């Protein structure tokens, strides 16, 4: 099976995504400590995480899409990479 795209790692963006994820975790555990100014706005980190993730996905698929990648192979590749949770729970 042919690979649709070659994954590229962006360590800086991965680090920012990690900080966003950690911020959300700390926001949800506000009962354990005083959340302060940063973590009370942790819901904004969710938006930032999705923006960064969308950018990374779009950049990874850019060359394949320019070469004429259609919707069906794209969705198949995304489905193999991140299957919906309902598929995993099926008996």
In a domain, 3, yes or no: no
Spacing of C-alpha 75 from chain mean position? 16
What mean pLDDT is reported for the chain? 78
In a domain, 18, yes or no: yes
Predicted confidence (pLDDT) per residue in 54-63, tens digit:
888 888 778 8
- Give the mean pLDDT of 34-45: 74
Name which of 84, 86, 80, 88 is nearest 7 in CA terms: 80
Domain count, the chain: 1
In a domain, 2, yes or no: no
- Give the mean pLDDT of 23-29: 83
In a domain, 45, yes or no: yes
> Which strand (E) or helix (H) includes residue 72?
helix 71-81
């Amino acid at each position: 099976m042919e690979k649709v795209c070659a994954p590229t790692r962006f360590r800086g963006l991965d680090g920012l995504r990690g900080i966003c994820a950690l911020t959300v975790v700390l926001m949800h555990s506000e009962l354990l400590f005083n959340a302060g100014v940063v973590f009370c706005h942790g819901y904004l980190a969710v938006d930032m995480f999705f923006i960064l993730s969308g950018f990374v996905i779009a950049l990874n698929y850019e060359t394949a899409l320019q070469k004429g990648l259609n919707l069906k192979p794209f969705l198949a590749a995304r489905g193999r990479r991140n299957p919906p949770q309902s598929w995993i729970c099926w008996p």
